Amino acid sequence: WRRRRKMVSRTLFKAVGDLPRRSRLVWRTIEVTEAGRAGQAERALDLFEAMPVKNQVAWNAALAALVDAGRTDWALSFFQEMPRRNATSYTTMIGALSRAGGAAATARARALFEELPLDQHNVFTWTAMVSCHVRNGEPDRAVELFVALYSEFFARGMLPNAHTFSSLLKACVGIRSLAMALQLHAVIVKLLDEGSRHCFVWNALIDVHAKLGALSDAEKVFYRMRYRDICSWNIMMDGYSRHKLIDRALELFRMTRKKDAFTWNIIISCLGENRLGEGALCLFIDLVRLDGHCSGNAKLSASIYTTVLHVCSVLALLVFGRQVHARTVKDGIGQSNISVSNSLLSMYSSCGAMNDLEQVFEEMMVRDIISWNSVIQGLGQNGLGRQALAVADRALELKMYNSNTFIAILTSCSHAGLVTEGLGYFDSMTEKHGVEPTLDHYISVIDLLGRAGRLEEAYDLLRKMPFAPNAVAWRTLLHSCLAHKNSVMGSIAAQELRALQPDCGGGNYERLVQGCGSSSTSDETLDGNEKSADHAPGCSWLT
């Protein structure tokens, strides 16, 4: 198809010299546009410069070519050099800055929007700016812009279109405003028909109602639609999943004729998140059986593998998880996809398979901070504190760390009894690594000291930390007191817990403390052995 397209283009462009002047201008403009779509920014500009006559359409085509090629900075310079600009020019440039992302780009886009006189705006400039705010995490500003200009534009006969409404509905989700969504719903019904061309607007309505708690309204929109695409079914199914209506989600899944990867991912996630992991894995096996023998886009995707590996992690299904790992390698996404690799790390960590965890980590083509944190946490929780700290030192040296990295380090030190090392990392957080300790870090140190029997130091740190102690902090100290049979300090922790959580069985804590002198209470620790509770059906089908 591409070869045929090139041949046709060459044949047509050879005849350009024989065309009238106006037609030659049109064809040269088309050439500029095609070069931009192909990502050839330099060629597009060369073709534009070679044009003997340049009208506004040609200038806009050259600008769009730079934008299509992803050359936003170049496009902005070109935009500023344009002798004349119209609404199309501004729409193209605002769209480019929107895709570039970031607060600076959004601010520049808004400045361009306000630079254009109000009487020269059209629905496309308006929609582009609304979409820019939504896309870059400013849904409140998108709504404010729409409300501020709606009456004036309406008086001029300039009405919002389907794309405007679609962006605004996303903004309603961002600001959690069901009232705004209901008002937009009324306007959409008045201005748009329910034809297939506007299907994505009705899909957005289903989504916003489901996410903001009005599931019955979402159902009304879905079942009244004359035309539904696969997104309609997926969004409605996701709505049922969010509201934990598993039976309805499954019924809709069975009714969906042309299932794609999102359809399978939604239902597998739905079952997995609602403690129906075995059912989720059975559906995954069904999908594996269909792979290569089904129509449509129902293929094994990275998101599906990530979901299934999470289920394996929760259920500690090591053998099944290994077979899923084998499938990812077979499909060529095991090492190259960072999300799948991180899920493998989490799964092997939960199953206690440290050799597999280290192998996956070493074979990863790209690692992010989550990868490093997962390995540190996994090694530490499975009794390999020294190895965890060795990995932590590599992460700190490579600047691949964040606040959670130090939680993983302190937890590893706590499980391994490495008190001196843990306190050293805690003291170096701010001065050496620029990470401010949070309440969670202090609780981790309290646990570190408490497990080692240094209860007075743990209590002293709890009282002097720059945060008000919460129930987790007092419960951490209480567990250490029970483990080391310190009834005096344990009574203090139990009383504080009872004051913070009067309806959560504070008396039970006090009875535990009273009996800790005679009963042997000890922490349950994990050994390094692999867990092998594999009862998932049909494991042999995976490979």
Query: How far apart are the C-alpha atoms of 212 and 185, rounded to whole Å?
Result: 14
Query: How far apart are the C-alpha atoms of 381 and 414, rounded to whole Å?
Result: 9
Query: How far apart are the C-alpha atoms of 496 and 9, rounded to whole Å?
Result: 79
**Residue corresponding to tokens 């646990």:** 447
Residue 194 has a pLDDT of 64
**Residue corresponding to tokens 């170096």:** 428
**Residue corresponding to tokens 């769009």:** 64
Residue 354 has a pLDDT of 94
Q: Return the H-helix or E-strand segment holding 123.
A: helix 123-135
Residue 206 has a pLDDT of 95
Rg of the chain over all Cα atoms, to the nearest angstrom: 30
Residue 238 identity = D
Residue 135 above 90 pLDDT?
Answer: yes
Residue 226 has a pLDDT of 85
User: Could you tell me which residue, 300 or 270, shows the higher pLDDT?
Assistant: 270
Query: How far apart are the C-alpha atoms of 75 and 91, rounded to whole Å?
Result: 13
Residue 519 has a pLDDT of 43
Q: What pLDDT digit, counting tens, does each position of 46-76 carry?
A: 777 777 777 888 888 888 888 888 888 988 9
Structure tokens at 96: 């480019």
Residue 484 has a pLDDT of 87
Q: What pLDDT digit, counting tens, does each position of 309-350 carry?
A: 999 999 999 999 999 999 998 888 877 789 999 999 999 999
Mean pLDDT for the chain?
84
pTM (2 d.p.): 0.74
Cβ atoms 377, 408 nearer than 8 A:
yes
- Written as one string, the DSSP assignment of 269-293 is HHHHHTT-HHHHHHHHHHHHHHTTS
Which of 352, 390, 391, 351 minimizes the C-alpha distance to 375?
391
Residue 259 above 90 pLDDT?
Answer: no
Query: How far apart are the C-alpha atoms of 395 and 408, rounded to whole Å?
Result: 12
Query: How far apart are the C-alpha atoms of 317 and 308, rounded to whole Å?
Result: 11
Cβ atoms 349, 357 nearer than 8 A:
yes
Tell me, rounded to whole angstroms, the distance of Cα 185 from its chain centroid.
Answer: 27
At 27, is the pLDDT very low, low, confident or very high (cuts 50, 70, 90)? low
| Strand spans (E) along 208-350 | none
Q: What pLDDT digit, counting tens, does each position of 364-402 carry?
A: 988 999 999 999 999 999 989 999 999 999 999 999 999
Percent of the chain's residues with pLDDT above 70: 84
Q: What is the mean pLDDT of residues 90-105?
A: 92
Residue 535 above 60 pLDDT?
Answer: no
Which of 193, 186, 192, 198 minimizes the C-alpha distance to 229?
198
Cβ atoms 315, 533 nearer than 8 A:
yes
Percent of the chain's residues with pLDDT above 90: 54
At 193, is the pLDDT very low, low, confident or very high (cuts 50, 70, 90)? confident
Residue 26 has a pLDDT of 67
Distances (CA, A) of 341 to 269, 346, 368, 370, 404: 18, 9, 10, 10, 19
Sign of CA dihedral 377, 383, 387, 393: positive
Q: What is the mean pLDDT of residues 448-474?
A: 92
Q: What is the mean pLDDT of residues 415-434?
A: 92
Residue 217 above 90 pLDDT?
Answer: yes
Query: How far apart are the C-alpha atoms of 240 and 242, rounded to whole Å?
Result: 5
SS3 257: coil
Q: What pLDDT digit, counting tens, does each position of 503-524 carry?
A: 665 556 566 666 555 444 344 3
Among 13-22, 230-239, 263-272, 364-373, the range scoring the smallest mean pLDDT is: 13-22
Residue 286 identity = D
65 dihedral zone (left: phi>0; alpha: psi -120 to 50; beta): alpha
Residue 427 above 70 pLDDT?
Answer: yes
At 140, is the pLDDT very low, low, confident or very high (cuts 50, 70, 90)? very high
Residue 534 above 90 pLDDT?
Answer: no
Cβ atoms 374, 349 nearer than 8 A:
yes
Residue 517 has a pLDDT of 54
Cβ atoms 283, 325 nearer than 8 A:
no
Among 254-263, 286-295, 396-405, 408-417, the range scoring the smallest mean pLDDT is: 286-295
Query: How far apart are the C-alpha atoms of 132 and 342, rounded to whole Å?
Result: 31
Residue 174 has a pLDDT of 93
Residue 18 above 50 pLDDT?
Answer: no
CB-CB neighbours of 23 under 10 Å: 12
Structure tokens at 102: 């970031």
